[in-house]
Chain A
């Protein structure tokens, strides 16, 4: 089967997108009989010179007015493979159509008229390509015939445009000088451009390496629907990345439930291999038939997507009305649909010159902005830089898809958090060094080891032994003793239920800061209330929170504590590791070793 690559032609109006495409179709013998004659006839009828664009601009309005309104797809082939080329309009007012066309492309021609030079849409389209994640870009410097095939003009444009594009992290594969209308440097190198050493258009196309489906990335399988047409209960969806096979242990986000893949389903017969992979639309059945629904994301247990209600994004706005604060929109990300609002507008960028605008109150049509989004319910996503499919979304205003965007980096300390900030005057800001980098440098994985238990149970003695043991093993470790914090950060708190809850929250927040800086953190906290430990787990993240209950007998407590009040410890509903202490003279080294044995492979 022949390979197929999709490429979009973008650029400023009249810089020759349609002409290049027409020429490519003509040169590759892809036009049906009579097409050129038809174009000649239309050109004559409209009193215009021969124009390849009429091959693509099918609408009467487009042909009569000589403009491309909407995007279209055409097919041609080289010896190497088949191509679908997408024509995108260059008028600013049809930017939404340009984006619709470009969003499905794997590579792009960014056209620049050699005589007119870099124009507003050349830059804006460049910016849009970078947001869409299209990295394989050829800048085509067209109409070289109008400037006598001058190397100097070509070099001037290249240097100037390169400067602009490098700010966007776009590094074009090549700047190709052509005359699309005269067919120079289209299929083979042109004598008129003897100074140019690069490839012709067709040669350059065939040089593009097609990006394989992201099979080797961690699994992301958003649930599209759940079917029960017969006795099977099939979870259907598209695998965005990774692979999946029967027997795999899977986690379902955001609920965090886990189960196992029972079967991979297909019609009319089974697949001829035992796994399914990125890009495929599949159906599976699972062992535990708990309630699943559209929008949840299936992953492997050890690598889940992020989940949060506040995150930073880049958006391009195409709506008739501007994007504003204090208005409800709908966010569609993978198969999730959730109500959202703009929490803060951090930067509005004029995409034609990258100037950062002063006006932070709204994002107008055709503008690009960095904003913080707040959703009503928890959303699962990834950063676009790591995962395409789960890192991009659209925003619906009323009935209309009005914006598109990509998820930016989240600071490690704010990841997987449900945040209810009181003010929108600040925004979540990411740093430049990630937790992963810090952990790598410290040669450890950071976890919170949370020791709870009533006063006198011995948690403190065990914790200090554990700290020393980890320290001697070369680990970077921090010990947060709840009692010590009461002297300082929590000196304002009362010793009552409310104070206890607040104290646990503060410790959890501090511990969260430490682990997200790569530091193993031991906590001792009575935390007798079940709910307060649950919220600590929520703040820290269930993957990083290791709860140990130090359970001492009443006798031990009485012997060791200073006048123990009658208090009750509420046990957790989820499984935790328990250490039982029935001897007031217990050996704390042994107990620390028990904890160490349990956690050593996790650090």
Chain B
């Protein structure tokens, strides 16, 4: 087995464990490259089916092409999609100018907490990767959240071999991370090998492309002329910029992601 086959098998195993253990299971889909690969892996794991709903936490500040891509894919594959927004916060005019971390909390963390409660999810599949940033690098594959979605990252349970945390207190939920062991370059090499469709924003237009996708006020494209997947892979092999350097919320505070994620952020 080559490297991609090994990491693919591991993800499939994790997805099947999640499906077996959690009656109420959903998969967060941000429309970005990672969660789109994850959707592909789910179809592999379940032989062409996706037996749980996808959840999109829509901040209303997503780049329009993302929403278009989302709706096309859902129609094409007949997927069950839950779109959730914090309507109240939006009506009250929440936006990044009130503070990026405040905005993330109201438009991403809170609606995510709400969706967990509303549908009673016991398991939530997320496409985070260890190499994205520090607090994710310390994650477990099956990671427990309490009933307010808090993460006790200083006392995580042991996780060994293919045995995951599947016993937990009622009201809590488990975040499942099938892509935790993938690197950014693995994602692109896999997209190339499997021919997985991704949103056009990753490819250069007028000398700029997005390397990581998020809300338009807080996500900035990088300088690049790359218009093909091969080009992206080559660019990644040579860059020393971090993947999320164009994500403004990460730069707000040295421990911004740790703080956001300990309260339930993805």
Contacts and interface: CB of A to CB of B under 8 A. Distances in A.
Interface of A: 1-4, 31-33, 42, 58-61, 69-75, 82, 84, 96-97, 99-100, 103-104, 213, 224-225, 227, 229-230, 232, 234, 236, 238, 265-268, 279-281, 283, 294, 318, 330, 332, 334, 392-394, 396, 398-402, 404
Given A70-B154, A229-B47, 15 more contacts: A1-B4, A58-B138, A60-B258, A71-B138, A73-B137, A100-B156, A224-B13, A224-B17, A238-B162, A280-B9, A318-B158, A393-B163, A394-B161, A401-B159, A404-B161
Contacts of B154: 59, 61, 69-70
Which secondary structure dominates where chain B touches chain A? Answer: loop
Contacts of A265: 47
Given A69-B154, A97-B158, A394 B163 contact: yes
Contacts of A393: 163
B167 A267 contact: no
Given A399-B169, A401-B159, A58 B16 contact: no
23 contacts: A1-B4, A70-B156, A72-B130, A74-B137, A82-B3, A100-B140, A100-B156, A100-B159, A103-B159, A103-B160, A103-B161, A225-B16, A229-B47, A230-B47, A230-B48, A238-B162, A265-B47, A267-B44, A268-B43, A330-B167, A332-B163, A394-B158, A401-B158
A97 B47 CA distance: 35
B37 interface: no
B167 A96 contact: no
Contacts of B6: 4, 279
Nearest to A225: B20
Interface string B141-167: 000000000000110111111110101
B83 interface: no
Interface in B182-234: 183, 189
B38 interface: no
A225 B45 CA distance: 11
Interface of B: 1-6, 9, 12-13, 16-17, 19-20, 43-49, 51, 130-131, 133-135, 137-138, 140, 153-154, 156-163, 165, 167-169, 181, 183, 189, 240-242, 254-255, 258
B196 to A, nearest CB: 11
A79 to B, nearest CB: 14
A229 B49 contact: yes
B256 to A, nearest CB: 11
A234 B156 CA distance: 35
A99 B258 CA distance: 23
A32 B47 contact: no
A281 B17 CA distance: 12
Contacts of B138: 58-59, 70-72
A229 B49 CA distance: 7
A392 B137 contact: no
A342 B158 CA distance: 21
B181 A73 contact: yes
A234 B240 CA distance: 45
Contacts of B189: 1
A1 B3 contact: yes
Given A70-B153, A225-B20, A58 B134 contact: yes
Contacts of B157: 96, 400-401
Contact of B3 (A3, A58, A268, A400): A3
B255 A267 contact: no
Given A75-B131, A399-B167, A232 B47 contact: yes
Given A236-B16, A279-B1, A99 B162 contact: no
Contact of A404 (B4, B12, B160): B160
Contact of A60 (B2, B13, B161, B255): B255
Given A213-B1, A224-B13, A229 B20 contact: no
Given A33-B240, A280-B5, A399-B169, A267 B19 contact: no
Nearest to B189: A1
| Of A58, A100, A318, most B-chain CB atoms within 10 Å | A58
B241 A2 contact: no
B222 to A, nearest CB: 13
A400 B167 contact: yes
Top 6 A-B pairs, shortest CB-CB distance: A58-B134, A103-B160, A1-B2, A96-B158, A281-B12, A394-B163
